[in-house]
Amino acid sequence: MKIAIIQFAPLIDNAEATLNKLEQLLNKCNDSELIILPELANSGYNFQTKTEAFDLSENISGRFISFLQQFATKLKAGIISGFNEREGDKLYNSAVFVDKSGVIGKYRKLHLFLNEPDFFEKGNLGLPVFEYNGYKIGMLICFDWMIPEIWRKMALNGVDLICHPSNLVLPYAQSVIPAYAIVNHIFIATANRVGTERGVSFSGQSIVANPQGKVIGRLSPEKEEILKIDINLSISKNKEITERNHLFNDRRLDVYNDLK
Amino acid sequence: MKIAIIQFAPLIDNAEATLNKLEQLLNKCNDSELIILPELANSGYNFQTKTEAFDLSENISGRFISFLQQFATKLKAGIISGFNEREGDKLYNSAVFVDKSGVIGKYRKLHLFLNEPDFFEKGNLGLPVFEYNGYKIGMLICFDWMIPEIWRKMALNGVDLICHPSNLVLPYAQSVIPAYAIVNHIFIATANRVGTERGVSFSGQSIVANPQGKVIGRLSPEKEEILKIDINLSISKNKEITERNHLFNDRRLDVYNDLK
């Protein structure tokens, strides 16, 4: 599957300019089957007030999702993007998966970082996995990287590729993601943002890791740029890591199933 | 706590020479509080037959454990070592923790790699954690590195340091261990062996990782040598990784507690 990560900086004070920028970047991805954007790509991250976060949010039938669907149709691709989602009077730090047919699915961030609970509700859609072009795709968002259980749970649910829209400030996640890829024998694509927003700088270095835990693509720490790579997702289906070892079946659930 | 990793190569065909070698190495650790040796340090790894594995095994009151206890007393240190353990007519790939008072505890490898089931039973002692000098110490062995649940379970059980005697052939574990250290906010010390034994080469590169996921000590791929480092184990007790994030309490066990 030909995937593309768009590493860019949304403009928190100018949604129109953000869309214009994204339009140019998306138009460079007409050879990709799946395009992945960072967390909160429609709004930026560092809200000053709940009111501002609300003003910069959109619901699932809003302009940003229509914009993504329009490009999904034009590019004949799936697009996964983080977005500031409004539902009624609640906000969620969400990721959406669209193609030409519309919204394939959504994920809402389960683990909120630092001050995010001032703006967002905790995710309430579980850990869905979606079929796409014969493979199983899941989404996790940014700080979710800290919790090994969710990466494992998604792998147990059969995911081949986890797309990971992010607004990472530090570069720690980029060193842990390859470990999750190897111990779960899956592909992971972390789409991080760049730039400085109201004094907060983001760490870029978007990566793709393969089931051998190898980083097979990495972007720079600061530039807006696109990572394109062709990955063989069928590799992830084989959990027999030696002729006598199976990644899941070898587990001693009698000893550690309860992780409370 | 001042710890020392002894990276060395046991001699599979000469237990006497192995002890002589170990004696010299241990005598260099008289400034350490805890000394960690590789997996199967009393026997070597690559057995040709079950009979050979049996002949090279020792029970918990055998010569190897007495040897370790003698040095623990002399050096005023704890010693953790992998050993080929015999109990009745069964063998276990075990780790033992001794100090001057005797055997503090044992762990038996839960996840056997490739052909190890031809020689060893699966571990049957769970995931014990032992108090030592005010801190909680656990043991895992080599291929256990592949299973994120056990590292998590030990962290949930309050472990501050996991000692990880190993006979790693490939260098993958050394890239995953720092990830387990950061996502569980613990110290991990991997004591790997070196050398080539009957055509199998081991990857050395013993490491110590801290709760920030940083490798704070690393040995060479091939040399017999000692890694000494003073680590502040009290750091691992604080799981509040930001003022509003707790590594364990933030988990959404409603979503992923069942990892079957």
Q: Looking at residues A228-253, what average pLDDT do you find?
A: 97
Do A149 and B123 lie within an 8 Å CB cutoff?
no
Instruction: Tell me, yes or no, if B163 is annotated catalytic.
Output: no
| Of residues B146, B242, B256, nearest to A183 (C-beta) | B146
From chain A, pick out residues whose CB is under 8 angstroms from the CB of B171: none
Do B114 and A147 lie within an 8 Å CB cutoff?
no
**Residue B171 binned pLDDT confidence (cut-offs 50, 70, 90):** very high
Q: A257 pLDDT exceeds 80? A: no
Q: Which of B29, B33, B39, B85 is catalytic?
A: B39
Do A114 and B182 lie within an 8 Å CB cutoff?
no
- C-alpha separations of A85 from A13, A54, A104, B71 in Å: 17, 9, 16, 63
- Give the separation between CA A181 and CA A190, rounded to whole angstroms: 11
Count residue pairs from A and B with Cβ separation < 8 A: 131
**Other beta carbons within 10 Å of A161:** 27
- Give the separation between CA A25 and CA A7, rounded to whole angstroms: 9
Do B110 and A241 lie within an 8 Å CB cutoff?
no
Do B255 and A150 lie within an 8 Å CB cutoff?
yes
Residue A104 to chain B, least CA–CA distance (Å):
21
| Of residues B115, B149, B182, nearest to A256 (C-beta) | B149
What average pLDDT is seen over chain B?
97
Do A183 and B156 lie within an 8 Å CB cutoff?
no
ipTM: 0.97
- How would you write A213-228 as a 3-class SS string? CCEEEECCCCCCEEEE
Q: B167 pLDDT exceeds 80? A: yes
Do A117 and B247 lie within an 8 Å CB cutoff?
no
Quick: pLDDT tens for A151-168: 999 999 999 999 999 999
Quick: pLDDT tens for A54-110: 999 999 999 999 999 999 999 999 999 999 999 999 999 999 999 999 999 999 999
Site from A108, A127, A146, A240 to mutate, B interface, most B CB atoms within 10 angstroms: A146
DSSP-derived 3-state class of residue B234: helix
From chain A, pick out residues whose CB is under 8 angstroms from the CB of B143: 245
Quick: pLDDT tens for B71-116: 999 999 999 999 999 999 999 999 999 999 999 999 999 999 999 9
Q: What is the largest CA-CA distance in chain B?
A: 57
Q: Is A78 in contact with A98 (CB distance < 8 Å)?
A: yes
Q: B38 pLDDT exceeds 80? A: yes
- Give the separation between CA A186 and CA A180, rounded to whole angstroms: 8
Q: Which of B33, B85, B116, B142 is catalytic?
A: B142
Residue B102 to chain A, least CA–CA distance (Å):
26
Q: A222 pLDDT exceeds 80? A: yes
How is chain A split into domains, by residue range?
2-256
| Of residues B179, B180, B252, nearest to A111 (C-beta) | B252
Site from A93, A147, A185 to mutate, B interface, most B CB atoms within 10 angstroms: A147
| Of residues A115, A150, A260, nearest to B244 (C-beta) | A115
Q: B260 pLDDT exceeds 90? A: no
Taking Cα atoms as reference points, which of B195, B212, B191 lies closest to residue B4?
A: B191
- Give the separation between CA B13 and CA B207, rounded to whole angstroms: 27
Q: Looking at residues B212-216, what average pLDDT do you find?
A: 98
pTM higher than 0.90: yes
Strands (E), chain B: 2-7, 34-36, 78-87, 90-99, 102-108, 129-132, 135-139, 161-166, 187-192, 196-197, 200-201, 207-209, 215-218, 225-230, 240-242, 245-246
Residues of A with a known catalytic role: 39, 109, 142
CATH architecture classification, B2-256: 4-Layer Sandwich (3.60)
Tokens of B236: 């691992």
